Amino acid sequence: MDADALSEFDRRDWRTDADLDPLRLAMVGLGWWTRDEAIPAVADGDFCETTVAVSSDREKAEAVADDADAAAGLTYEEFHDGRATDEYDAVYVATPNATHLEFVESAAEFGKAVLCEKPMEASADRARRMVEACEDAGVPLMVAYRMQTDPAVRRARELVQGGDLGDPVLVHGSMSQRLLAMIADPDQWRLDPDLAGPGASVTDLGIYPLNTARFVLDADPVAVSALARSGADAFDDVPDEAATFQVRFDDGTLAACAASQHAHRSSHFTVVGTEGELGLEPAFFESAGPEFALEVDGTRASLDYEQVDQMREEFDYFGHQVRTGRDIYPDGRHGLVDVAAIEAVYESAEAGTTVPLSDI
């Protein structure tokens, strides 16, 4: 085993030495994630700054803008009307899934780069419209897969792509949490199909092992099969209080994934190859002592490494790539594949059949 295999878990392999002005961001959607995670991550980072806060509620927008020392607090209507466009260069969209499109379309119309939360939208059709709006306007669109900018996950990709595990054979990934212990309201948007999309657990959590597998393998799904169930009262309107799904990738690798919004907080990610395996645990929740484990040819090593702020990495990557004019990955076309795959997961769970993914 290479002595450097368990190293470089804080390396920014995308960073240049360019002297860059911060990318000025309009934060659209001021729920707890934006206020408690995104805005502090931007403030702690190197390449972005919050200059505009946008909410359905004027008082909230102005209060968040004041707290962030931003130039303006806007209502959604004012944002769509083009108010304060000279105060920001790019837009971060963190509204409910089924409302992403309208904000991205306005941002594209204003010529602003976009960082859109995952999943991109509530349906593949709307996600495709988002991609086309940004392509037609010539503005960058990045989907906020924070795992892809985590140095440990990027190191895992390097090891897999470098052949350290031999040929990839299997992926195992899961993510679960107790949603109602985090947000007690059973009427929240994540449990409302009109706002969240076709379900709750796969759309919000199952997307993590699915997309991380795609990134690490550099492969795309070609077929899925799934099982799902809901029993608790709060999950009456969604089919997937808990779900498992299998994925066949275009490189032949098979994945087994699981997700639940009503289970103990847990996550893991493992890739098994012909000559070894690697694992991350916890994989998708930030932790004080995450473990990176690697076994090759019977020799096993593991390391508890220092967790980086994944949101800071995500925003810094976005700001750096936009300011330097370099390619952005994951882009909108990449995110569209996940939305189509998620739709296929729910179709499979309902029909009880394997669902192939057509060309996207």
Per-residue pLDDT of the chain (360 residues), as tens digits, is 565 677 778 899 999 999 999 999 999 999 999 999 999 999 999 999 999 999 999 999 999 999 999 999 999 999 999 999 999 999 999 999 999 999 999 999 999 999 999 999 999 999 999 999 999 999 999 999 999 999 999 999 999 999 999 999 999 999 999 999 999 999 999 999 999 999 999 999 999 999 999 999 999 999 999 999 999 999 999 999 999 999 999 999 999 999 999 999 999 999 999 999 999 999 999 887 899 999 998 899 998 988 999 999 999 999 999 999 999 999 999 999 999 999 999 999 999 999 999 866
Q: Is 185 exposed, middle or buried (0-12, 13-18, 19+ CB in 10 A)?
A: exposed
Residue range(s) occupied by CATH 3.40.50.720 in the chain:
23-145
Does 221 sit behind a cis peptide bond, omega within 30 degrees of 0 on the bond before it? no
Centroid of chain to Cα 290? 19
Contact 235, 244 (CB under 8 A): no
pTM of the predicted protein model: 0.96
The pLDDT of residue 228 = 98
The whole-angstrom separation of Cα 343 and Cα 183 is 25
The pLDDT of residue 230 = 98
23-145 classified as CATH 3.40.50.720 = yes
Q: Three-class SS of residue 53?
A: strand
Helix (H) or strand (E) holding 79: helix 76-80
Q: 154 phi and psi, to 5 degrees?
A: -65, -35
The pLDDT of residue 298 = 87
The pLDDT of residue 4 = 67
Helix (H) or strand (E) holding 86: none
Q: Three-class SS of residue 154?
A: helix
Report the CATH number of the 151-307+330-356 domain.
Answer: 3.30.360.10
